[in-house]
Structure 1
Amino acid sequence: MSCTLESHRAELEELLSPVFACLDSEVLRIDSPEAIDRILSEDQNALLPIPAFTNSQMDGYAARSADLAAASLRSPISLPLGFTAAAGDRQIPLAEGTVSPVMTGAMIPLGADTVIPIEESGSGAFPELVRAGVGTPSGHAEFSAPSAEGRFIRPAGVDLETGALVAKAGTRLTPTMIAALVSSGLREVPVRRALKVAVCTTGDELSDGQCSQGQIPDSNSPMLAAWLRRYQVQVRTLQLPDDPQRFTLAIDALQEQVDLIVTVGGISAGAYEVVRQALSPLGGVFHHVAIQPGGPQGFAQLPKAAVLCFPGNPVSALLSAELFLAPLLRQLNALPEPLPRHYPLAADASSPEHKHQVRRALIRDGQVTILDPGSHLVHDLARADALVHIPVGVSQLAAGQSIETWSMNV
């Protein structure tokens, strides 16, 4: 059975949506290394206003605007200094007819309603300052212009009031959102549990150590595990032999431990296609998708876990993940869809007209060079910095033609 890229994507969305919806919650400290990019499972409301208190936007003098209403260049007003308000100090009162030196971020003294930047004072610099409880202030500050009420003052709660919504359930914990949550008084937040995935590579030819004759290194396991971790997925890897009975026993045990099983290899038309042999009797669906590379695809729903079945060649395996799993993981993790960029082709290219071809490419000197389509070319996969989608119905592309590209390996 054959299907289109779009129809297979729809099948996998139907398969995985219930899995993603059933992920439960856990509570994390916001400063935990595990918090970055996690998804809130509940709405979060502010325990504190932002800013937490009314404070100064500038280094300068806190004053009553009425005391400076008549100030001018011809008739400057000189006011005695009160105690200094520094960042971290408790709020101090502003005595009648005085000004208080105030530092950026310090609480506005009680009774003050304006701040005059230090450079607008007569001297342009602070004299000797005295904080409350340290001594007795002395000296004066001179001003040659009025200062409007509220000037250079940041009112408490101007950004967010106590009790206001900081972030909705489903919000991703970006660095800036972490700052907003901490600023609003939150220290722990409920987040959606990370998706648990097992990557199962198949094939008696695979080795995770020294290769004997006829064997190759298992590059799919570390590649797909690293790829999945970019999406906040907890990953385990397992090599399974070309034995349907042992494969079935291993998968049956895995479904008790993970949400999703990704198999790699064993789904083509060969004689020892262990994944197809084991999962077909359990309701597994296997068909050919009109794409290149990565045409053979499959999936299954076990009682306690979903299964995605990718082909075994490394290029096909990674591009299957990019085409079919990445869009769903971006949606799960509130990540934006990648935006294509357009470049002219450096040389002519061809594509099978009846297939959606996905080619690796290099961006050099403002042009895109399309690489060989072979699904075994792991080094080409590693050096590529872009993907090019050539849709069904297009067989020839001409040099100089503008084409869409998507970044990869970034």
Structure 2
Amino acid sequence: MTRRTVEEHAAAVAALLAPVLAPRAETVSLAGALGRLTAEPVRSPVDLPLFRNSQMDGYAVRAADLVDLPRTLPVAGVVPAGAPVPAELPAGTALRIMTGAPVPPGADAIVPVEDTAPDGHGVRILAGRRAGEYVREPGSDVRRGDVLVPSGTRLAARHLAALAASGLAEVPVRRSPRVAILTTGDEVVPPGSQPAPGQLFDANGIALDAAAREAGAIPVLRGHASDDPAQFATLLAEATERADLVLTSGGISQGDYEVVRQALEPRGAWVGAVAMQPGGPQATGVVDGVPVLCFPGNPVSTQISFTVFLRPLLRAAAGLPPMPARTARLAEDVRGVLGKRQFRRGRVGENGRVELVAGPGSHLVASMAAADVLVEVTGDLPAGAEVAVIPL
């Protein structure tokens, strides 16, 4: 079995995925656009506001009629929000108006209701207003053709509100990679089922699905195949039809029932090992033009492999900020493994020192949940040594 360094395998994975992770655009509905990255500047097709309307509940008036106050004006009627534009307001009159309702021609100010008092069939104006006060003019928010949202913006609720207010139902965004996730093994059963002796629950399917989403990808298929090559081949064919990238877990070691290796090696895939622990067995290939990235089956190995080799690429493709390694000092002595880079699970304390969580075993999935960083260990290291830590 050929062995790569961590850097060599990371470079091979990056080269394999470069074509499918290259920036591309697609148009999605606003309902599905939250968190997506705009692929180009989005311009308003309209002026906002669309028409002159009232900022307050009150009375539309001519400012020139409010020179001597207080003054009682006859009320010409009422205009609610959503009504057509009223007829021109005669001089010396007021029009009862609701917030958002169209302001009639001739009116140039709104007197808030709290600055008025009923007076018979009219309204007594207690405070004057200058022309333009509380009147929202068309285009005072944004003009037709102005940029509403710049290119490269991660869409939040406030951006979607502006797009919707401008009448846009769709938005061009950077296309997220479509990922298929395939777990394997006769011994694996779904969470919630009753395992038989020798079986275990499938943690990798949900872990890879969640990790892919968190990194900006869209899982389009999550399936499980037994150690039957025909069943795996059928699932793999479905995955390559639907996804830009296929992820597998398990089935690539040197045992007798390595269904992924058996399916991919005849297709020219690289199946080998990386000088790391956990996560030594790795494989890469292309099936029907779709890259396939294969991780080992132990739950911690799968998660570490995703974090080290795939997460940076997916986040970059989705426009998410990187999560680079930083440094911390060990809180304790650590024994390494000769010739391998270990990725130990750790937790950074308030003093900035990193403590290891449990041992190096690839089965310690509960301990993985208790960690907040991966600690890169190369050889024996004393307490206080500076190490690279990768945030989880």
The amino acid of 1:80's aligned partner reads: L
What CA distance in whole angstroms lies between the structure 1 residues aligned with 2:147 and 2:121? 43
Q: 1:57 aligns with which of 34, 49, 55?
A: 55
Does structure 2 retain, via aligned residues, the 8 Å contact 1:225–1:237? no
Q: For 1:232, which of 218, 228, 231 is the aligned residue?
A: 218
The answer to whether structure 1 residue 251 and structure 2 residue 236 are counterparts is yes
Query: How far, CA to CA, are the matches of 1:109 and 1:349 in structure 2?
Result: 79
1:127 aligns with 2:128: no
TM alignment of 1:207-218, pairs within 5 A: 207-208=189-190, 209-218=193-202
Is 1:152 the counterpart of 2:139 in the alignment?
Answer: no
Match of 1:381 among 352, 365, 368: 368
Percent identity over the alignment is: 38
Structure-to-structure mapping, 1:13-32, within 5 angstroms: 13-21=14-22, 25=26, 29-31=29-31
Residues 78 and 96 of structure 2 are in contact (CA less than 8 Å); yes or no, is this contact kept in structure 1?
yes
Deviation readout 1:72-115 (Å, 9 max, x if unpaired): xxxx3525153444333333333213444443333333233334
Equivalences for residues 248-327 of structure 1 within 5 A: 251-252=236-237, 254-270=239-255, 272-327=257-312
2:314 maps to: 329
- The match for 1:133 is none
**Scaled by the length of structure 2, what TM-score is found?**
0.77
- Whether the aligned pair in 1 keeps the contact of 2:225 and 2:235 (CA below 8 Å) is no
Q: Offset of 1:281 from its aligned partner?
A: 3.8
Cα distance change of structure 1 residues 138 and 329 upon mapping to structure 2, 3 Å threshold = same
Letter in 1 for 2:18: S
Letter in 2 for 1:328: L
Partner Cα distance (1:262, 1:350) in 2 = 32
In structure 1, what is the Cα distance between the partners aligned to 2:202 and 2:332? 34
Pair 1:84–1:365, CA change in 2 (3 A): farther
Q: Are 2:84 and 1:90 aligned?
A: yes
The reply on whether 1:141 has 2:129 as its aligned counterpart is: no
Q: How high is the TM-score relative to the length of structure 1?
A: 0.74
Measured after TM superposition, the shift of residue 40 of structure 1 is 6.0
Equivalent residue in structure 2 for 1:109, among 90, 104, 108: 104
Q: Give the deviation of 1:309 after TM superposition.
A: 0.8
> Does structure 2 conserve the Cα–Cα contact (< 8 Å) formed by 1:113 and 1:150?
yes
CA shift, 1:217, in A, is 2.7
5+ residue gaps, structure 1, are 129-135
Q: Which residue of 2 aligns with 1:131?
A: none
Check whether the contact 1:62–1:112 (CA below 8 A) recurs between aligned residues.
Answer: yes
Query: Paired residues, what number?
Result: 382
Query: 2:201 aligned with 1:203, yes or no?
Result: no
Task: Tell me how far 1:171 sits from its aligned partner.
Answer: 5.7
Match of 2:126, SS state, is strand
Q: CA deviation at 1:182?
A: 1.4
What residue is the counterpart of 1:47 in the other structure?
45
Q: 2:204 aligns with which of 215, 220, 235?
A: 220
Q: Give the RMSD, CA atoms, in angstroms.
A: 4.1
Q: Secondary structure at the match of 2:218?
A: coil
Could you tell me whether the CA contact under 8 Å between 1:172 and 1:333 is conserved in 2?
no
Contact 2:346 2:375 in 1 (8 A): no
Maintained 8 Å contact 1:48/1:184 = yes
- Deviation of 1:376 after TM superposition, in Å, equals 0.6
Alpha-carbon distance change, 165 to 215 in structure 1, aligned in 2, over 3 angstroms: same
SS of aligned partner of 1:52 = coil
Deviation at 1:263, TM superposition (A): 1.3
Structure 2 Cα separation of the partners of residues 361 and 137 of structure 1: 77
* Structure 1 residues 154 and 323: CA distance shift in structure 2, 3 A: farther
- Deviation, 1:312, is 1.1
Residues 207 and 232 of structure 1, relative CA distance in 2, 3 Å threshold: closer
- CA distance in 1: counterparts of 2:387 and 2:243, whole angstroms: 43
State how far apart, in whole Å, the 1-side matches of 2:303 and 2:212 are.
10
Hey, what's the Cα distance between the residues in 1 that align with 2:225 and 2:118?
74
